[in-house]
Structure 1
Amino acid sequence: MRTLTGLAFVAAVGLSLPVAARTAEPSPAPEHGFVLTGAGRFAILADQMTIVRDGDTVTMRAFQVTEPGFTAGGHTYWGGWSKWRFDCVGMTADRLDFASVREGGVEGPTTPDTAPAYHADPGGDAAELLAVACSTDARSPDVFTLEEAVTLGRAALAGELDQPR
């Protein structure tokens, strides 16, 4: 008579393994790390996962969320992405481009923004984004997916949230 041991026995009799004994695949790293920076005409969320430092300058993407039902050209939009470059010493901001995001997440096309860099005045969207981009302390993300960013942004636009941190 052949005896079964360990996993072979479990498999033979159809028992399930405890969770700790199962081989689990690690959770994928989050693609985004959104921090709500403000809400006015649009809600603005900085994506900390896109921060790239180069000396005193930093690039980062930010997502601006529209109110529900925002349409243009017969399409409904969640908002759009902008890539920014900040000079952390000179306190300047330069929006490099914009790519709209349709409801459902379809992105593009990307349109370059050729306006020159400008001083990031306190209280404005650029200053709030600069504060996140240039900080040496990462803030805990508020949300991790684009869909969650839209939900959070729309709640901020509707006045359902306290002011951003």
Structure 2
Amino acid sequence: MILNLLSLLTLSEPEGPHRFVFLGAGRFAQYADLASLQPEGDGGRIRVFQVVEPDFRAGGTPYWGGWSWWRFDCGPRGHVDRLDFAGVREGGEEGPSTRDDAPSYEAVQGGDAFELLVAACNPNEFDTDATTVEEAVRQGRANLAATD
């Protein structure tokens, strides 16, 4: 029983089902996971998956990308705050998570944060683009290749 409780405490975020919405591609392809949306007041929290190009490596390890939790405010000033980052190795292994202590900032139209804010504040207006991390990686890499 104690071992089961300890294993629950050390698990990373639960895997799926996801509701990925493509936010855009630049240096990375960004997907908001609307299934992770946690409303709080005029905003909430949401998880975003960032897809990297094929053959991306850090310290010799191949990566698919990484997850970040974001806090957002749907009010008139539209602030966002990236709370952390956890790399996702090729194959799907996640973590560890690293806190992001940068202050919140206003999401400016045309930027990735603005696209995140629009999706997070209007989740019912978006169709699902992918339902698994693997599918998001395939689509994200295709979108990255199209921007080259």
Q: Secondary structure at the match of 1:152?
A: helix
The one-letter code sitting in structure 2 at the alignment partner of 1:116 is P
Specify which of 42, 60, 67 is matched with residue 56 of structure 1. 42
Specify which of 64, 70, 79 is matched with residue 84 of structure 1. 70
Q: Does 1:128 align with 2:115?
A: yes
Match of 1:117 in 2: 104
TM superposition outliers: structure 1 runs of 4+ over 3 Å: none
The one-letter code sitting in structure 1 at the alignment partner of 2:23 is T
Q: Is the 8 A contact 1:43 1:65 kept in 2?
A: yes
Specify which of 23, 44, 52 is matched with residue 30 of structure 2. 44
Match of 2:3 in 1: none
Q: Secondary structure at the match of 1:53?
A: strand
The number of equivalent residue pairs is: 131
Question: Per-residue deviation at 1:138?
Answer: 4.2
Question: Per-residue deviation at 1:119?
Answer: 0.6
Unaligned stretches of 5+ residues in structure 2: 1-15
The one-letter code sitting in structure 2 at the alignment partner of 1:71 is R
Q: Does 1:104 align with 2:91?
A: yes
Taking the aligned partners of 2:126 and 2:37, their CA distance within structure 1 comes to: 12
The one-letter code sitting in structure 2 at the alignment partner of 1:44 is Q
Q: Please give the per-residue CA displacement for 1:72-131, whole angstroms capped at 9, x wherever unaligned.
A: 101000000000000110301100000000000010000000001001011111110010
Q: Does 1:141 align with 2:128?
A: yes
Give the TM-score normalised by the residue count of structure 1.
0.77
Give the TM-score normalised by the residue count of structure 2.
0.85
Q: Secondary structure at the match of 2:18?
A: coil
- Give aligned-pair identity as a percent: 56
Question: Per-residue deviation at 1:136?
Answer: 5.3
Taking the aligned partners of 2:135 and 2:57, their CA distance within structure 1 comes to: 20
Q: Answer 1 or 2: which has greater helix percent.
A: 2
Q: Is the 8 A contact 1:48 1:138 kept in 2?
A: no
